Amino acid sequence: MKKLFEKGTIGNCRLKNRVVMTAMTTGNAGKNGQPTEQLVRYYEERAKGGVGLIVTEIFRVNEEHGVAIGNQLSALDVNNLPSLARMVARIHSYGTKIFAQLHHGGSTNVPAMNGGKLYAPSAIPNVSGIVPEPLTLEQIEELKQQFIMTAVMCKAADFDGVELHCAHGYLLCEFLSASSNQRTDQYGGSLENRCRLPIEILHGIKAACGADFPVMVRFSVDEYDPDHEGSITLEEGIEIAKRFEAAGADALDVSCGNYFSKYGENIEPYSYSQGWRKANSKAVKEAVKVPVIAINTIKEPEVAEQLLEEGCCDFVGVGRGHIADPAWVRKAQTGRSGEIRKCIGCLYCFETLTSAGYVRCSVNAQAGREACLAEPVNNGDGRKIAVVGGGPAGMQAASLLGRRGFDVTLYEKEAQLGGALNLADKTAPYKVKLTWLKDTLAGEVERAGVKVRLGEEATVETVAAGRPEAVFLAAGAAPVRPALPGLDGANVVQAHDVVAGKAKVSGRVVVIGAGLTGLETAKMISGEVESLAIVDMVPQLGAGMYPGIFVDIMRQLAAVSPTLLPGHKLEGVGDGVVRLTRLEDGAAVELPADWVVLAMGQKPDSAAVAAFDAAFDRVVVLGENRRVPGRIATSLSDAYIAAFAFDPEA
C-alpha cells in the first residue's frame, strides 16, 4: 500500500499520509461549545492511530439560528480558545493535522434549539414539512461575518485549517441547490449567484486569516434527489467544484446526498459496496487541479489504496471506519489489516446520535467512552476464568480478559466461533461485513492466548473441572415458538434454520415477525418462493430498527411485492393456512401458506443462568443471556465493560 502512506499537502499544510478522518458529529462537546476531555480523548486516539488529518465535527457559527445539536463545538466564545488550543496541541503531538469544520444547518436544524424558527435561502418545506423563513440580506451579511470570525478564532487556537460544510442539504448546500434556493436577489437564480455566499465566505476567511491559511470545501457533487426539481446533479456539481477552485479553495471534499435522498446516499447502510461513489470523485478530480478528498464507503485499506491508484481522489476519507477502529491507519501501515475492527455499516452510530445525543459504535465499545474506558489494567496474574459461549459477547470478554493477564478458557458447543454471526452473515452477500467482524474477534481471542474448546457444550460439571475463579456466561438464547395450534407442524420452521440452510421453503411462504431477522430472512428467500407475506403484531413493520436500515431492506423487498400485514396477531397454523386476528377490529384473517417461518425473537436460557449461579460464586451474565433481543452493539459493549471492570480481588 504505497500510495496510502505517501505524504501530501493541502495548501501549505503537509500531511504524513493520504488518510483523512472526515467530520462526524459525536455529541461530546460541552454545553458552551468547548471541547470536553471525552471529545479530546476521542480525537487523540485517532491521532495516535496514525491518521494524517482530522476534520472535526461541526462548529456552529451562529448562536441564534445555527444550533444543530445541543453539545456542539463553538469558537465564537473567546473563553473556549484555551481548551480548543489544548485539544489541537494534543493532536499535533502525534504528527496529525486538524481542521475545524464550519457549519450552519439551515432548514435541517431543530426549531426548539433555535428560538422556534428556522432560516434558509427560501421558504421551501424541509424534510419534516416545516417551512423556514428566508434569510434577509442583513442576516446573510451577519452570517458571513460569523463564518469568517469562527475561522479567525480557530486559527488563533492553532488549527491547521478550516472546512466549509456545503453538503448534505445544510445551509450553504441549500444556497447552492436550485431545489432549495428560489431567491431572486444576488444570492439566487444563476449558478454564479447560488455559489456567491460560500465563495464570499471563502474569500473573507482568506482575507482575514491570510492567503496561506488552508480552506477546504465539502460539498455534495450530486444530491441524489430526483423528486425535487433543480437539485444538484453530477454535471452541475462539477461546475460548482470548478468555481470553488477558482475562488481559492485549497482542497475539495467530495460528498453527496441531502436529507431528501431516498436511500441514504449520504449515510449508506451496509448494502452499499465500497467505492460505489468513486465515479463522482474521479469526475471532480479530472475537472480540477486542487487536491480532492473523497469518502467512498471505505472499510478496508486495500480498497483505499485502489481508489488512489485509479486516480479517483488524492486523499481518502475514512469516517465511520475511524469510529470502529481508531488504529485503522497504524494497523494498515504495519501490515495488520486483518486486525482492523472494520465498520459493518449498521448505522448504530447515527442511531445513538439521534436517539441519545451521542455516538456509540456496534463494534467498538470504547467509541464515545475513551475518557472512562482507557487501557485496561493488567492484573489477571494467571487467575483462571471460564467463558461459556463463543459468540460476539463471549469472544469479546475472553480476548479482553486474556489481554489483562487472566488464564481464560472459552467453551463453544459448535465447531467454530461466531455464535449468531455465523447465521447473520449469510442473509445477503453484503453481510460479509459480519464475517469480517467474526474473523477479527476470533483473531483477538487467539492473540490474547485464550484456550478455546470447540464442539464442547459447557456444563456446570465440565466448567467446574477447570476450577475457574469466575464464569462469564454468554451461551446465547433460543428462538421463540409459542404454544399455538399447528406450530409444531413440519411446515413451521425457525428463521435461523432457513438462514443456516437446514430448512428449505418454497411455494407460498408466510414470515411471522418483521424485525431485522424476519425482514432479512424474507429478503433472502424472496427470489425462491411463489409468494411472500410478512406478518407482525405491531402496527409498524421494522419496529426498533434504525430508519435507514429499514428503508434499505424494504427497498430491496419491494422488487417481489410481498404482502405486508402489520397489526395482525398469529393465532395458529392450519392445513395450508395461517390464521390471524386483525387487531384493529378483531376480524379473523386467513393467509394461504405452504410454509411458515417464525422470526418471533429469542428467549434467554434462564435455567442455564440459574444452574451456573448455584454452582459458582462469581457469574457474569452477558449476551442474550443478559439482554433479549440481542444486538451486536449491546453484546460487545456489555462484554467489554464487564471484562474491563472485572476486579479479581473483589
Q: Please list the active-site residues.
A: 170
CA dihedral 359, 101, 50, 362 (to 10 degrees): 20
In DSSP terms, 253 is beta-bridged to: 218, 293
Task: Measure the CA–CA gap between 563 and 567, rounded to whole angstroms.
Answer: 13
Task: Measure the CA–CA gap between 92 and 37, rounded to whole angstroms.
Answer: 16
Task: Measure the CA–CA gap between 361 and 322, rounded to whole angstroms.
Answer: 10
- Is residue 329 within 8 Å of residue 336, measured between CB atoms? no
Q: How many CB atoms lie within 10 A of CB 539?
A: 11
Distances (CA, A) of 483 to 410, 480, 497, 570, 572: 35, 10, 19, 11, 9
3-state DSSP call for residue 275?
A: coil
Task: Measure the CA–CA gap between 271 and 344, rounded to whole angstroms.
Answer: 10
Cβ partners under 8 Å of residue 212, min gap 6: 11, 12
* Per-residue b or e along 264-295, where b marks 16 or more CB atoms closer than 10 Å to that residue's CB: bbbbbbbbbebbebbebbbbbbebbebbbbbb
Task: Measure the CA–CA gap between 273 and 207, rounded to whole angstroms.
Answer: 42
Beta strands 73-74 and 53-60, pairing class = parallel
Closest among 152, 140, 146, 165 to 206, alpha carbons compared: 152
Instruction: Output DSSP code: residue 627.
Output: S
- Is residue 506 within 8 Å of residue 588, measured between CB atoms? no
Residue 590 C-alpha cell reads as: 386467513
